[in-house]
């Protein structure tokens, strides 16, 4: 079994110096770093396999296609989907949600219907529904959360009715690190035959996902939060919905026949994958999945659970610190403020010490409005984050505190 020191050696960027100090990277909820294996896999494609997929009879194209489709099968197994056709490659979580908001609403939502979205969503799970709302004239119902970060489940039950056509909910809040009870949400919604979309961008990196066991209807996530490259993500969708939904983009690959009298569309998953895909990124994604499987989620969950508990205790031992989202069921990230200090000032001083954290509203302005704050400082963890780095972060925060208060 690999140790944290072994894992850290796999990530070249961790050797970087920031202002002549060792990099302490605590912004993994924004994007994770990439192991050398992933970088090498992408380089190998351009060096030895560079060809378009699905379109050529020549050997390079066939090899690239085989590797591309092998990734689809590996993603299917990674998230426990029943069919590989249910795995749609996109540019990331944002495009995955936009795809559903556009095409699901076109097929299943009418004027006067309702879609439930929670108050704690990333903008990527709010704005696409607002854009679709302008076109299809449905109503967005907001599921609130409590100050602890927990969803108001009694309100959720009251929102579900015959007008509800979809529930769109984050698995883990990117702003608070709160893990939502999505299994319960899905069960309650399905009792009324209401499908559920889960934004899994912050869930997939931290614990094992099985979409069949969850019984969600859609699950969206990105490679770059999962130690893979930017620019590629996944939409998992149940076949019955994907087959009924119209194409999202038009162009090559997603067609069967084109004439000026009309066009017929390709079968799943290609119906939703118009144009040349980012093949190198997909192959890098495959290597990232293999890397995570090699480490194992047992290790990942235990390590990150320790980091969450340890960091929370250290923060709470300091005066003048407020943590947002106090429910114990959290993963990956902790949001806090130094009382009376703008989070940008905290982040700037820590950066001078080589410590990278996130500050601001985290593309979750509705969360900030809930607490009546402009933003927070956020620390978020990866598989390579060490206890020693947390200790240095806490010492850095103490120094910042003496300068700011």
Residue range 314-356, pLDDT digits in tens: 999 999 999 999 999 999 999 999 999 999 999 999 999 999 9
Q: Which CATH number fits domain 39-293: 3.90.1150.10, 3.40.640.10, 3.40.50.720, 1.10.420.10?
A: 3.40.640.10
d(CA 6, CA 221): 27
Evaluate the CA torsion angle 292, 33, 22, 331 in order and state its sign: negative
Q: CA of 403: how far to CAs of 288, 290, 350, 395, 399, in Å?
A: 41, 45, 11, 13, 7
**What is the average pLDDT across 12-33?**
97
pLDDT tens for residues 108-136? 999 999 999 999 999 999 999 999 999 99
**What is the average pLDDT across 53-70?**
92
d(CA 110, CA 257): 30
Residue 56, token pair as written in the block: 């050529």
What residues form DSSP beta bridges with 179? 172
Please list, residue by residue across 256-270, b when 16 or more beta carbons sit within 10 angstroms of its beta carbon and e when fewer do: eeeeeeeeebbebbb
Asked if 333 and 362 count as a contact pair (C-beta separation under 8 A), the reply is: no
Residue 159 has pLDDT above 80, yes or no: yes
pLDDT band at 257 (very low <50, low <70, confident <90, very high): confident
The predicted pLDDT at position 258 comes to 76
pLDDT band at 76 (very low <50, low <70, confident <90, very high): very high
pLDDT band at 266 (very low <50, low <70, confident <90, very high): confident
- The neighbour count for residue 193, using CB atoms within 10 Å, is 9
Return residue ranges of the chain for CATH 3.40.640.10: 39-293
Return residue ranges of the chain for CATH 3.90.1150.10: 4-30+296-404
Angle in degrees, 0-180, between the axes of helices 279-295 and 36-44, rounded to the nearest 10: 150
d(CA 362, CA 173): 10
The predicted pLDDT at position 103 comes to 97
Residue 177 has pLDDT above 80, yes or no: yes
Angle, CA of 182, 186 and 191, to the nearest 5°: 155
Both ends of the chain: CA-CA distance in Å? Answer: 45
The predicted pLDDT at position 57 comes to 87
**What is the average pLDDT across 198-206?**
97
Residue 295 has pLDDT above 80, yes or no: yes
d(CA 125, CA 129): 7
Q: Is 94 exposed, middle or buried (0-12, 13-18, 19+ CB in 10 A)?
A: buried
Average confidence score pLDDT of the chain: 96
Q: Please tell me the class of the 4-30+296-404 domain.
A: alpha beta
Taking alpha carbons only, the member of 251, 221, 248 closest to residue 233 is 221
Residue ranges of E strands in 242-293: 255-259, 262-265
Q: Give the rounded percent of residues in the chain with a pLDDT score beyond 70.
A: 100
The predicted pLDDT at position 311 comes to 98
pLDDT band at 1 (very low <50, low <70, confident <90, very high): confident
Q: CA of 328: how far to CAs of 10, 150, 305, 312, in Å?
A: 31, 10, 11, 10
The predicted pLDDT at position 151 comes to 98
**What is the average pLDDT across 364-375?**
98
Determine which one of 188, 363, 374, 404 is catalytic.
363
pLDDT band at 260 (very low <50, low <70, confident <90, very high): confident
Clarify whether 105 is annotated catalytic. no
């Amino acid at each position: 079994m690999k140790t944290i020191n072994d894992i850290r050696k796999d990530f070249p960027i961790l050797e970087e110096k920031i202002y002549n100090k060792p990099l302490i990277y605590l912004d993994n909820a924004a994007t994770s770093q990439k192991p050398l294996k992933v970088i090498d896999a992408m380089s190998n494609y351009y060096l030895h396999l560079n060809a378009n997929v699905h379109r050529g009879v020549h050997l390079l194209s066939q090899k690239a296609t085989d590797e591309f489709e092998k990734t689809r099968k590996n993603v299917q197994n990674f998230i426990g989907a029943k069919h590989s056709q249910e795995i749609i490659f996109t540019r990331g979580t944002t495009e995955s949600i936009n795809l559903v908001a556009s095409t699901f609403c076109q097929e299943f939502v009418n004027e006067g219907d309702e879609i439930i979205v929670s108050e704690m969503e990333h903008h990527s799970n709010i704005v696409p529904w607002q854009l679709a709302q302008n076109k299809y004239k449905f109503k967005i119902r907001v599921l609130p959360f409590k100050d602890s970060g927990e969803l108001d489940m009694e309100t959720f039950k009251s929102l579900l009715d015959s007008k509800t056509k979809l529930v769109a909910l984050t698995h883990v809040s990117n702003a608070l690190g709160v893990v939502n009870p999505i299994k319960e949400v899905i069960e309650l919604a399905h009792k009324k035959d209401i499908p559920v979309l889960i934004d899994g961008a912050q869930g997939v990196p931290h614990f094992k996902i099985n979409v069949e066991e969850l019984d969600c209807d859609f699950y969206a996530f990105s490679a770059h939060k999962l130690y893979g490259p930017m620019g590629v993500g996944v939409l998992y969708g149940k076949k019955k919905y994907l087959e009924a939904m119209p194409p999202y983009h038009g162009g090559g690959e997603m067609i069967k026949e084109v004439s000026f009298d009309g066009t017929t569309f390709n079968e799943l998953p290609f119906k939703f994958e118009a144009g040349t895909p980012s093949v190198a990124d997909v192959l890098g994604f495959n290597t990232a999945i293999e890397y995570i499987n090699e480490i194992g989620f047992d290790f990942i969950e235990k390590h990150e659970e320790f980091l969450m508990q340890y960091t929370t205790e250290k923060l709470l031992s300091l005066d003048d610190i407020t943590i947002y989202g106090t429910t114990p069921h959290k993963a990956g990230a902790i949001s806090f403020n130094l009382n009376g200090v703008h989070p940008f000032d905290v982040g700037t001083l820590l950066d001078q010490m080589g410590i990278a954290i996130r500050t601001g509203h985290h593309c979750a302005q509705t969360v900030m409005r809930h607490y009546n704050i402009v933003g927070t400082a956020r620390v978020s963890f990866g598989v390579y984050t060490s206890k020693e780095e947390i200790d240095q972060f806490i010492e850095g925060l103490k120094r910042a505190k003496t300068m700011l208060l």
